[in-house]
Structure 1
Amino acid sequence: MKVLLATSKPFALQAVQGIQNVVETAGLEFEKIENYTEKSQLLDAVKDADALIVRSDKIDGEVMDAAKQLKLIIRAGAGYDNVDLDAATSRNICVMNTPGQNANAVAELVFGMMIYMQRNKFDGSVGRELINRRLGLYAFGNVAKKVARIARGFNMAVYAYSPALTHDDLRKEGEYGVITAYSNRELFENSDIVSLHMPLLEDTRNCIDYKLLAYMPKDGLLINTARKEHIVEDDLIRIMEERPAFQYVTDIKPDKHEIFLEKFPNRYFATPKKSGAQTTEANRNAGIAAAHQAVMFLKSGDDKYRVN
Structure 2
Amino acid sequence: MRKILIATEKPFAPVAIKKISKIFEKAGKEYNLVLLENYTDRNELLQAVADAEALIVRSDIVNTEVFEAAPKLKIVVRAGAGYDNVDCDAASAKNVVVMNTPGQNANAVAELAIGLAIFGLREMFSGKPGGELRGRTLGLHGFGYVARNVFRIARAFGMKVIVYTHYSKGAAAAIGLKVTKSLEQLYEKSDIVSIHVPARGEHIKSVSYEVMKHLKDGAVIVNTARKEVINEPDLIKIMEEKPNIKYMSDITPDCEKEFAAKFEGRYFFTPKKAGAQTAEANINAGVAAADQIVAFFEKGDVTYKVNG
Q: Place the TM-score, normalised by the shorter chain, in its bin.
A: over 0.9
- Is 1:226 matched up with 2:237? no
Letter in 2 for 1:141: G
Contact 1:73 1:94 in 2 (8 A): yes
- Is 1:140 matched up with 2:139? no
3-state SS of paired residue (2:248): strand
How far did residue 169 of structure 1 move? 3.9
Letter in 2 for 1:168: G
Equivalent position of 2:302 in the other structure:
303
How far did residue 234 of structure 1 move? 1.2
Equivalent position of 1:131 in the other structure:
134
State the alpha-carbon separation in 1 of the partners of residues 25 and 226 from structure 2: 35
State the alpha-carbon separation in 1 of the partners of residues 26 and 259 from structure 2: 49
3-state SS of paired residue (1:249): strand
Equivalent position of 1:153 in the other structure:
156
Equivalent position of 1:81 in the other structure:
84
State the alpha-carbon separation in 2 of the partners of residues 161 and 242 from structure 1: 24
Aligned length in residues: 304
Equivalent position of 2:267 in the other structure:
268
State the alpha-carbon separation in 1 of the partners of residues 24 and 257 from structure 2: 44
Equivalent position of 1:254 in the other structure:
253
State the alpha-carbon separation in 1 of the partners of residues 39 and 218 from structure 2: 43
Equivalent position of 2:24 in the other structure:
23
3-state SS of paired residue (2:34): strand
3-state SS of paired residue (1:200): coil
Equivalent position of 1:243 in the other structure:
242
How far did residue 140 of structure 1 move? 0.3
State the alpha-carbon separation in 2 of the partners of residues 258 and 25 from structure 1: 51
State the alpha-carbon separation in 1 of the partners of residues 124 and 148 from structure 2: 26
State the alpha-carbon separation in 1 of the partners of residues 23 and 278 from structure 2: 20
Letter in 1 for 2:108: A
- Is 1:292 matched up with 2:305? no
TM-score by length of 2: 0.96
Equivalent position of 2:113 in the other structure:
110
Letter in 2 for 1:79: G
CA deviation map 1:141-176 (0-9, x unaligned): 1000010011111111101111223x334312x1xx
State the alpha-carbon separation in 2 of the partners of residues 302 and 242 from structure 1: 51
- RMSD over aligned Cα, in angstroms? 1.0
How far did residue 278 of structure 1 move? 0.2
How far did residue 15 of structure 1 move? 1.1
Contact 2:165 2:179 in 1 (8 A): no
**Taking every aligned residue pair, what percent have the same amino acid on both sides?**
51
Structure 2 gap segments, 5+ residues each: none
CA deviation map 1:187-225 (0-9, x unaligned): 111111101000111211111111211101010110000
Q: Which runs of 4+ in 1 moved over 4 A?
A: none
Structure 1 gap segments, 5+ residues each: none
3-state SS of paired residue (1:124): coil
- Is 1:42 matched up with 2:45? yes
How far did residue 4 of structure 1 move? 0.5
Contact 1:61 1:84 in 2 (8 A): yes
In structure 2, which of residues 82, 92, 97 is the aligned counterpart of residue 94 of structure 1?
A: 97
State the alpha-carbon separation in 1 of the partners of residues 44 and 178 from structure 2: 49
State the alpha-carbon separation in 1 of the partners of residues 125 and 64 from structure 2: 46
State the alpha-carbon separation in 1 of the partners of residues 68 and 3 from structure 2: 17
How far did residue 65 of structure 1 move? 1.2
3-state SS of paired residue (1:203): helix
How far did residue 126 of structure 1 move? 0.5
How far did residue 25 of structure 1 move? 2.3
* Residue 151 to residue 38, structure 1, CA distance change in 2 (3 Å): same
CA deviation map 1:42-96 (0-9, x unaligned): 0001011110000111101110111111000000011111111111111111111
State the alpha-carbon separation in 2 of the partners of residues 304 and 232 from structure 1: 33
Equivalent position of 2:55 in the other structure:
52
State the alpha-carbon separation in 2 of the partners of residues 11 and 232 from structure 1: 33
State the alpha-carbon separation in 2 of the partners of residues 169 and 101 from structure 1: 19
* Residue 168 to residue 26, structure 1, CA distance change in 2 (3 Å): closer
Letter in 2 for 1:17: K
Contact 1:157 1:178 in 2 (8 A): no
In structure 1, which of residues 163, 171, 174 is the aligned counterpart of residue 173 of structure 2?
A: 171
